[in-house]
Chains A and B, each alone.
Chain A
Amino acid sequence: MKTRISRRRLLRTTALAAAGVLGATLARTVKAAVQKLAVSSAGPKGYEPTKHKWLMVIDVNRCIGCGLCVEACKKENHVPQGPNYFRTWIERYIIKKPKPGSTRGEVLVDSPNGGMNGFPPATVPKEEILHSLYVPKLCNLCSHSPCVQSCPVGATFDAPDGAVLIDPKYCIGCGFCIQTCPYGCRFLNPITRTAEKCSLCYHRITRGLKPACVEVCPGQARIFGDLKNPVPNDPIQKFFATNRVQSLKPYLGTGPRMRYAGLDEEVR
């Protein structure tokens, strides 16, 4: 069984195939260019993600537990109301005085409505408290993020400028990332049905503004800066020069880039 293909037919078929490949490539390039134009005309001008490296650090000694950051975050990012939806929140740690023979007493942790409306007076009388502190929590900006690794559709990713972001168009809302984040920084938005988390207020930092929580923090507990473009008297450089810092759950190997100063050992 042999089929003979004439030279003319062979040439015609090859030419058609080549034209098809070229045409498809051309169509794709044009589509990409149009998409890029449509997208970038709405976004911030002249922002190049590879030329920045953003980082937020927290000085726990400066946090007064007012909760203005939580409120600002919800307003800025249109986070649904309700006690389970937070991109950032504040925890209150109360460490009681120890019983004779031990070094630390019982630890009480609470975060009523994420600390958004401030905190009610502590239930423990002052005389029984060894230490007490407020700890702001948010995305720890891991360099080996479990959330990025567990996303089955590649919707969450490490942006070149240091933010860990979610592509809401590709997120399918499976919730794997919510389970894998050891810091509990993610939640499923009940309206959009996609995972959501702190984006470092990406729409603000790309326009030269500070994240909303940093903007409103009255105590300068939250310090934000660009590691690639230090400014004169950079607060983030000063933070590292003047404080001894630590990260949360370093033993998990997630490589958190967030740093805290003034933490107690009970904070996880």
Chain B
Amino acid sequence: MPPQIVRLVLLTIGIVGSYLVARFFLTPASFGQYGWYRANALVEIATPKAVYVGAKACDECHAEEIQKVAKAEHKNVACESCHGAGQAHSDNPDRNKISVPTDSLCVRCHETDPSRPEWLKQINSKDHYTDQKCTECHVPHQPNEVP
């Protein structure tokens, strides 16, 4: 074989070889398990703890109250919709109290708004018993009952 060809072949082998070696060491171990990405990323993204704990966690202690809510108008509203994220409270119920919403949260959903669908019961807070609190006439957990 002529020497210039030998040099070319050696050079090609060198380049391809170093590419293969680099690829071998630089490709993440879990690459290609599901596709052209690092499969370990899936687990890493799934690792953080949930901040909103979900109704099941509430049910562990407040089953009775939840059953009562389930019969009333607000049955489809989750606990954490009004009471906020429950992680701190469910981790340590004695030290971290769950938040109790105020009137501003009631009108956040129930204020009259032409963009809101008509099935939702809406009030105009400017002329709906302005000097009284919502809870004086409505029970949040049983909206159709009078306290």
Q: Which residues of A contact B (CB under 8 A)?
A: 1, 24, 28, 31-32, 35-36, 39-40, 42-44, 47, 49-50, 61-68, 72, 75-76, 92-94, 118-119, 121-122, 126, 129, 132-134, 154-155, 157-160, 165-170, 199, 201-204, 206-207, 209-210, 212, 215-220
Having A169-B38, A207-B50, A219-B120, one finds 12 other A-B pairs with CB under 8 Å, namely A42-B43, A42-B47, A119-B113, A134-B115, A159-B42, A165-B41, A165-B42, A167-B41, A201-B50, A212-B52, A216-B80, A218-B76
Question: What is the distance, in angstroms, from A76's C-beta to the closest C-beta of chain B?
Answer: 5
| A132 and B29 within 8 A (CB) | no
Residues of B within 8 A of A219 (CB): 76, 120
Residues of B within 8 A of A159 (CB): 34, 42
Question: What is the distance, in angstroms, from A198's C-beta to the closest C-beta of chain B?
Answer: 12
Residues of A within 8 A of B52 (CB): 72, 75-76, 204, 209, 212, 215-216
A28-B55 Cα distance, complex, nearest whole Å:
44
| B34 and A50 within 8 A (CB) | yes
A39-B38 Cα distance, complex, nearest whole Å:
12
Asked if B77 is at the interface (CB within 8 A of a chain A CB), the reply is yes
Asked whether A218 and B81 contact (CB < 8 A) given A35-B30, A132-B114, A170-B38, the answer is yes
A66-B110 Cα distance, complex, nearest whole Å:
9
Question: What is the distance, in angstroms, from A204's C-beta to the closest C-beta of chain B?
Answer: 5
Question: What is the distance, in angstroms, from B82's C-beta to the closest C-beta of chain A?
Answer: 8
Asked whether A49 and B120 contact (CB < 8 A) given A39-B44, A203-B48, the answer is no
Asked if B85 is at the interface (CB within 8 A of a chain A CB), the reply is yes
A167-B34 Cα distance, complex, nearest whole Å:
14
The 0/1 profile, CB within 8 Å of A marked 1, for residues 16-60 of chain B is: 000000001000011000111110111111111111111100000
Residues of A within 8 A of B54 (CB): 204, 209-210, 215
| A36 and B45 within 8 A (CB) | no
Consensus secondary structure, chain B interface: loop
Q: Which of B43, B50, B115, B117 contacts A62 (CB 8 A)?
A: B117
Question: Which 3 residue pairs across A and B have the least CB separation, nearest first?
Answer: A32-B29, A167-B41, A43-B43
Asked if B108 is at the interface (CB within 8 A of a chain A CB), the reply is yes
Closest to A206 in B: B46
Residues of B within 8 A of A218 (CB): 74, 76-78, 81, 109
